[in-house]
Amino acid sequence: MFISLVRHGATEQNQAHILEGHSDTPLSALGERQSQLAADHLANRPIDTMYSSCARRAIETATIIATRLEIDFVTDERLNERDYGEFEGLCRSELLKRRSDLGLSNVDPTQDWCGIESVESDADIWNRIRTFFEDGAAKHIAIVTHNGVIRAALHTAFRIPVWQSRCFQISNGSVSTLRIISGSLELIELWQPSLFSL
């Protein structure tokens, strides 16, 4: 079985470096283009099942991809972005300052939340999405979701410590494809939309 984890296309908030979390924002023009490129990239894959987060930006991305692939998709709240609690809506400079004030590292400020109870942990995210990795009926699943969810899945599945968070670059419109063989995960690709195509 294969799973392609697709990060939704960009929003105006992404482009302004604002931490969105559960905010329900639409795609920007750039995000629509990124979603079209992701759809083109996935067009030659035998995707038979598709899911999306319930966030508007993910649904808009999924709609573009599903239209290109001529398949339907199902929304599922388990695929929603990490709950960033009190940090949601902060711009990058505000986020970095708040984290510094709390004694947290700013190496990867959207991922490393150790000791902050109000922010959903990687383990909690993995617990809500792991069943998608256990669906034996599908041959190739596409999942449109968010940066925090994709990173939590990759880091948890491959047992990568949170302090090594920068080992995956998950840009808007990217596709991370995994193969599941006998319960083990293998990373097949980390595809990013080309800047020259945007």
Side by side, which strands form the sheet with 184-191? 74-75, 49-52, 140-145, 2-7, 175-181, 184-191
End-to-end CA gap in the chain: 31
> Strands 2-7 and 175-181: what pairing?
antiparallel
147-157 vs 122-129: helix crossing angle, rounded to 10: 90
Residue 8 known to be catalytic: yes
Reading the block at residue 35, the tokens are 């979603």
Catalytic residue among 8, 41, 146, 155: 8
Catalytic residue among 20, 41, 60, 81: 81
Residue 189 known to be catalytic: no
Give the residue numbers marked as catalytic. Answer: 8, 81
